[in-house]
Amino acid sequence: MTLSNLAIGLLLTLVAAFFLNAQKRAFFIFIFSLVAVYALQPALPIRYIDFWLPTIGLVLVIVLWIVITPHEIVKSRENIFTFGWILLVIVILGMTRYLDGLSFLTASIPPRIEQIMSALVVFGILILFAIFWAKNKSIALGGIILVISLLIAIKYQPITIWLAQTLRSFNNQAIETVTAFDIRWLGLSYIAFRLIHTLQDSIRRRGPTVFLQEYVTFIFFYPALVAGPIDRLERFVKDLRAPFSRSNIEWGFIIERLALGLFKKYILADSLALVAINPQNATQIQNAGWAWVLLYAYAFQILLDFSGYTDIALALGRLIGIKLPENFKQPYLKPNLTHFWNNWHMSLTQWFRAYVFNPFSRSLRGTSLPAWGMILLAQLLTMTLIGLWHGITPNFVIWGLWHGLGLFFHSRWQNVLRVRVSNWATTPMRQQVVNWSGILITFNFVALGWVWFVLPTPQKTLDFFSLLFRFG
Amino acid sequence: MTEEMIATLKKFIATEIARQPDRSIAADEKLISSGLIDSFSLVDLGLYVEDTFGVRIEDTELNADTFDTLEQLAALIQSRQ
């Protein structure tokens, strides 16, 4: 997100917080989130795709809301109005093709209005079909499979490139210059997790019934659109429905987190990015000392960049009455890997715990596997999937396995040594020694893991490890 | 009733999860956020609660936000019995 985007978002949020009552505030968040989906979408070389991707996302969200919502609620007056507002926003954004002054609202020039109208007719038929036909568990399960398929299509380069080639030839554009960056879908990773959470909860007959306006706002909530956190629908809607008054705004929290976030993201992280390891400089340096500098710089860059974003999102959310969940709590100061993962990208790890780790661990209980085998399998599966969420490449798989094995060994070590260590660490001094040794080991394990994360291939990663430890 | 339930849960956590049968656990001691109960043991605790008290704790509820102490867990179980 650029600073100018952020400034506009902050300014409009301030205006809304000062001048709008609770009902108008909810409506403002809804409309502004809709517009943000288009305005923040990166411009793409395939013609009009940066308009169609947000529109398809919006239609998908509407259809899936229909799937999880009781029929009588879907057809209520409020929701009919919301359908109308969404339609109006899409048409107005499409009209910016003809209005120079508003072109900043979309990534690039939108399609011609007749193309948009034709697509809306098709989408309308799809939505009507969903209203009358999509009403059972298997459709919700189909929705989960569809969302996962979209994630795979966007995160697995061969499929992304194939899709980009297909779209380019459909548009009569050159296919020689195709890259995986031709299709970048803003926020899909986060949107997908919110959708899967609500679909899965609906299959288990849990989760609240919400209006379309609330659901769209939850999925596309503008402060959390680009980089999370991943909230839960029931918690989010509670805030959205709560009375809102200017006198309740927590200015201390907002100013502190906004200042901290801006400082972390735009000053510290962006400066560290100049020295942090990347695919280019990793192959250029020859010195082990510098390799460690690059690696530590990256470890702090990724933390400060990501947690800075989260600080800004939390501040903006709080300004408009939404208490987004925390995502980072000093993860590099944790004495073991389990604690690290309880405090790093917390909303993601909680999501994986709820929807992957816990059900999978539960299902393993019925098998004849020994306890350690169950722990190993559950840790490896969960962490590998977290790796794949970042991108479907061998390096992300290895990064996931690195942490899965790390968590497994920590859990075994803890079982064997916990009592012995606590018997030894009887003085405050010894406790400090145990604590700081743990912090140092954990931080370095995580930092070394980032090499897999940041470099594109196993060979480049191994070369960098050789440099770090001067092998060969 | 609550004390009895807390005592039963405490015994299970100390013996089966912490593997320190003599360990004392206060009713308001943080169990999950402190790291005493890790993710995997939390699933064990969930299954134990289901078997012992006949109350289902969903996978999405096995976290420190839903309960983090013995007394919070006991209150959750009682609210569902």
How confident is the model over A30-73, as pLDDT tens digits?
A: 999 999 999 999 999 999 999 999 999 999 999 999 999 998 89
Assess if residue A15 is contained within a domain. Answer: no
Whether A215 and A239 map to the same domain: the answer is yes
Q: What is the DSSP string of A162-217?
A: HHHHHHHHHTT--STT--GGG---TTHHHHHHHHHHHHHHHHTT-S----HHHHHH
Total domains present in chain A: 3
Read off the pTM: 0.93
> What length is written for chain A?
472
Complex ipTM value: 0.89
Nearest by CB to residue B43, choosing from A342, A361, A414, is A361
* Domain end among A326, A349, A373: A326
**Contact criterion met (CB < 8 Å) for A339 and B35:** yes
Confidence band of B18 (pLDDT split at 50, 70, 90): confident
pLDDT score recorded for residue B1: 67
CATH H superfamily, domain B2-80: ACP-like (1.10.1200.10)
As a whole number, mean pLDDT of residues B55-74 equals 91
Residues sharing a CB contact under 8 Å with residue A453, sequence separation 6 or more, in sequence order: A302, A390, A395, A396, A399
**In chain B, domain spans:** 2-80
Assess if residue A11 is contained within a domain. Answer: no
Lowest mean pLDDT, pick from A84-93, A316-325, A406-415: A406-415
Whether A293 and A364 map to the same domain: the answer is no
Q: What is the DSSP string of A88-133?
A: HHHHHHHHGGG-GGGGGGSSSPPPPHHHHHHHHHHHHHHHHHHHHH
Distance (Å) from the alpha carbon of A198 to chain B's nearest alpha carbon: 11
Structure letter (DSSP) for residue A69: S
Whether A201 and A179 map to the same domain: the answer is yes
What backbone phi and psi angles, to 5 degrees, belong to A209? -90, 125
Q: Which residues of A touch B58 (CB under 8 A)?
A: 204, 206
Q: B-contacting residues of A 197-226, CB under 8 Å? A: 201, 204, 206
Whether residue A437 contacts residue A424, with contact meaning beta carbons closer than 8 Å, is answered with no
* Domain end among A209, A243, A277: A243
Nearest-5° Cα angle at A407, A405 to A413: 100
Whether A36 and A132 map to the same domain: the answer is yes
As a whole number, mean pLDDT of residues B8-18 equals 91
| Residue to test with chain B: of A361, A382, A412, A421, most B Cβ within 10 A | A361
Assess if residue A367 is contained within a domain. Answer: yes
Whole-number mean pLDDT of chain A? Answer: 93
Predicted confidence (pLDDT) at residue A472 exceeds the cutoff of 70: no
Assess if residue A4 is contained within a domain. Answer: no
**How far apart (Å, rounded) are the C-alpha atoms in residues A455 and A280?**
9
pLDDT score recorded for residue A471: 59
Whether A125 and A30 map to the same domain: the answer is yes
| Residue to test with chain A: of B13, B19, B60, most A Cβ within 10 A | B60
Whether A233 and A217 map to the same domain: the answer is yes
Between A and B, how many residue pairs show a Cβ–Cβ distance under 8 A? 55
Domain of residue A72, residue span? 22-243
* Domain end among A243, A263, A294: A243
Q: B-contacting residues of A 321-340, CB under 8 Å? A: 336, 338-339
User: Letter for the amino acid at A137?
Assistant: K
Whether A123 and A204 map to the same domain: the answer is yes
Torsion sign across C-alpha atoms B57, A407, A144, A106:
positive
Nearest by CB to residue B39, choosing from A204, A206, A357, is A357
Assess if residue A232 is contained within a domain. Answer: yes
Using one digit for the tens of pLDDT, what is the confidence trace for A150-208?
999 999 999 999 999 999 999 999 988 999 899 999 999 999 999 999 999 999 888 89
Distance (Å) from the alpha carbon of A418 to chain B's nearest alpha carbon: 9
Using one digit for the tens of pLDDT, what is the confidence trace for A228-283?
899 999 999 999 999 888 888 999 999 999 999 999 999 999 999 999 999 999 98
Check CB contact of A437 with chain B, cutoff 8 Å. Answer: no
Whether A214 and A339 map to the same domain: the answer is no
What backbone phi and psi angles, to 5 degrees, belong to B66? -80, -45
Assess if residue A221 is contained within a domain. Answer: yes
Q: B-contacting residues of A 342-371, CB under 8 Å? A: 342, 350, 353-355, 357-359, 361-362, 365
pLDDT score recorded for residue A95: 94
Assess if residue A80 is contained within a domain. Answer: yes
**How far apart (Å, rounded) are the C-alpha atoms in residues A454 and A295?**
10
pLDDT score recorded for residue A134: 67
Predicted confidence (pLDDT) at residue A136 exceeds the cutoff of 80: no
As a whole number, mean pLDDT of residues A145-150 equals 97
Lowest mean pLDDT, pick from A2-11, A229-238, A407-416, A459-468: A407-416
